[in-house]
């Protein structure tokens, strides 16, 4: 009997069971493909007569080649990653919102006659935060355009 490492050139060894007729077979990849396609066991049995398979052999092999379980696990991993990514975006948007609100408040308190440079710096920061938010969130409806107009007017007046 060949040992596991001989079997595992193309497949991780944990997926191969040396006692399994199908895992040992040279038709392994082809049979796995048929299982993915959901072909009936009888078709697999008929197609590979040299293996002398029965339904139990195939049923058992599906535990070695459990693509459904692997698929569910992969889906869960991706879902988890998506949620982590979404949380990160929410945090970024919240931070940007807070920055925009703070800058807006501050911009209103500055006398443009006395502190034109401060107004410009603050308004620029606010504008960058607004632009960043739009980059992250797409062209969502918010007061950004209003603030932008306000900023442009303030700069024009100088
Ligand atoms: Zn197997």
pLDDT of 144: 61
Taking the centre of ligand 1 as the mean of its atom positions, its distance from the CA of residue 25, in whole angstroms, is 9
Question: Which of 65, 90, 118 is the last residue before a domain boundary?
Answer: 65
Residues 92 and 151 in one domain: yes
Residues 61 and 125 in one domain: no
Mutual angle of helices 67-109 and 116-137, in 10-degree steps: 160
Residues 89 and 55 in one domain: no
Residues 10 and 61 in one domain: yes
Taking the centre of ligand 1 as the mean of its atom positions, its distance from the CA of residue 17, in whole angstroms, is 5
| Residue 9 pLDDT grade (very low, low, confident, very high; cuts 50, 70, 90) | very low
pLDDT of 27: 96
| Residue 116 pLDDT grade (very low, low, confident, very high; cuts 50, 70, 90) | confident
pLDDT of 123: 83
| Residue 6 pLDDT grade (very low, low, confident, very high; cuts 50, 70, 90) | very low
For the ranges 35-39, 107-111, 147-151, which has the lowest average pLDDT? 147-151
Taking the centre of ligand 1 as the mean of its atom positions, its distance from the CA of residue 158, in whole angstroms, is 78
Q: Is there a domain that residue 77 lies in?
A: no
Taking the centre of ligand 1 as the mean of its atom positions, its distance from the CA of residue 16, in whole angstroms, is 6
Task: Please tell me the total count of domains within the chain.
Answer: 2
17, 53, 73, 119 from 98: Cα distances, Å: 57, 66, 37, 18
Instruction: Report how far residue 38's alpha carbon sits from residue 137's, in angstroms, rounded to the nearest whole number.
Output: 41
Residues 89 and 153 in one domain: yes
Which of 59-85 are b and which e, b meaning 16 or more Cβ less than 10 Å from the residue's Cβ? ebbbebbeeeeeeeeeeeeeeeeeeee
pLDDT of 125: 85
Taking the centre of ligand 1 as the mean of its atom positions, its distance from the CA of residue 78, in whole angstroms, is 27
Is the pLDDT assigned to residue 28 strictly greater than 90?
A: yes
pLDDT in tens, 136-148: 877 555 556 666 6
Q: Is there a domain that residue 97 lies in?
A: yes
Average pLDDT over residues 45-71: 94
Taking the centre of ligand 1 as the mean of its atom positions, its distance from the CA of residue 24, in whole angstroms, is 7
Is the pLDDT assigned to residue 44 strictly greater than 60?
A: yes
Phi, psi of 98, deg, nearest 5: -65, -40
Whether the CB-CB separation of 123 and 155 falls below 8 Å is answered with yes
Average pLDDT over residues 73-81: 95
Range of the domain at 143: 82-157
Instruction: Report how far residue 17's alpha carbon sits from residue 64's, in angstroms, rounded to the nearest whole number.
Output: 7
């Amino acid at each position: 009997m060949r040992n596991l490492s001989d079997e595992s050139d193309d497949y991780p060894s944990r997926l191969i069971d040396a006692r399994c007729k199908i895992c040992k077979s040279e038709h392994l990849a082809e049979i796995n493909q048929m299982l993915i396609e959901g072909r009936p066991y009888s078709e697999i049995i008929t197609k590979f007569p040299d293996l002398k398979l029965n339904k139990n052999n195939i049923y058992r092999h599906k535990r070695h080649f459990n693509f459904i379980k692997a698929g569910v696990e992969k889906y869960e991993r991706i879902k988890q990653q998506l949620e982590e990514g979404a949380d990160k975006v929410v945090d970024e948007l919240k931070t940007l919102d807070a920055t925009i609100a703070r800058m807006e408040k501050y911009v209103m308190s500055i006398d443009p006659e006395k502190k034109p440079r401060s107004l410009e710096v603050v308004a620029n920061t606010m504008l960058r935060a607004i632009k960043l938010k739009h980059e992250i969130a797409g062209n969502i409806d918010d007061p950004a355009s209003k603030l932008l107009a306000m900023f442009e007017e303030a700069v024009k007046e100088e």
